[in-house]
Amino acid sequence: MQKRKLGSSGLEVSALGLGCMGMSFGYGPPADEQEMIGLVRKAVERGVTFFDTAEVYGPFTNENLVGEALEPFRGQVAIATKFGFKLKADGSPGFEGLDSRPGHVKEVAEASLKRLRVDAIDLFYQHRVDTEVPIEDVAGTVKDLIQEGKVKHFGLSEASAKTIRRAHAVQPVTALQSEYSLWTRGPEAEILPTLEELGIGFVPYSPLGKGFLTGKMDDKTTLDKSDFRAILPRFTPEARKANRALVDLLARIGEKKKATPAQIALAWLLAQKPWIVPIPGTTKLHRLEENVAAATVELTEEDLREIEDAASKIQVEGARYPEHIERMTGR
């Protein structure tokens, strides 16, 4: 697979990464751990060198899985993980709030190093901006961890342009991770120009619209009660029915390019900037192979214009998150 550099930081990774959250958490019951370890290793065989996890996924179980899966490939792959949530005292899934206090960030780093079985975390993101802790203090803490050799690169997630600038002034930010896809285009207005100016890479999560842009869901699809999409306004049956127009557009372009809707959605993201590295997640080998093959789909200027013209006429129905979660983004 082709490689890409995340901004001017020098962190070079495969053009497509693998988001590992759904293997343990979020999209229904956890998948079989040994099967998922095998899937992660198959991704490495297929050229993927960038893997995304977080302490809150599980909590902890996803980091353990990723650490075990990638231990044989230490030094050949980059693992990103995240800090910043206050986890529930009883260890159950979810979180009780945010916590990016310096002492807590250092504790999370030490624990993540052990679970990931590495000497240094390749990319350490603040998962959500904590308004109780100045971002300069957070950046300074990660700077200390970098100087101690425990972290290699600093990242932010769902941060505003202003916060990115403030953090970057203390410790250069290697990458921003935020949701971006053909049905979530908020970063285009202010975030992408800021990243370009500062030489920061962009890692879109949910590049397939949490599975919707694959075309495998419709208004009749039943979501398990442990699937967090069940609480998202954009995934009500009515919204799914209305939003099929976007999938139909991807399918139409896909027919011309001999590609699936998912491959067109990923190819579109890759075509936006050379420093964008999407991280689609999956628990299935055939989906992994489909996603990896998207890196070879080339969209012409004419294709991109056609997608833009058609997408501009489609109104996406439903907010991406309930209000209490959305309040944590764009800070």
| Residues designated catalytic | 57
**Which runs of consecutive H residues, i.e. helices, occur in 117-234?**
135-147, 161-170, 191-198
**Using an 8 Å Cβ cutoff, are 57 and 26 in contact?**
yes
Across the strands, what pairs with 177? 157, 203
Q: Cβ atoms within 10 A of the Cβ of 252, count?
A: 14
Neighbouring C-beta atoms of residue 15, cutoff 10 Å = 22
CB 274 within 8 A of CB 285: no
Alpha-carbon torsion angle 242, 290, 58, 160, nearest 10: -60
Handedness of CA 98, 141, 205, 285 (dihedral sign): negative
Give one word for 209, left, alpha or beta, with left for phi > 0 and alpha for psi -120 to 50. left
Within the chain, where are the H helices? 33-45, 61-70, 102-116, 135-147, 161-170, 191-198, 237-257, 261-272, 285-293, 301-312, 323-326
Give residue 320's region: left, alpha or beta (phi > 0; psi -120 to 50): alpha
What is the 8-class DSSP label of residue 234?
A: G
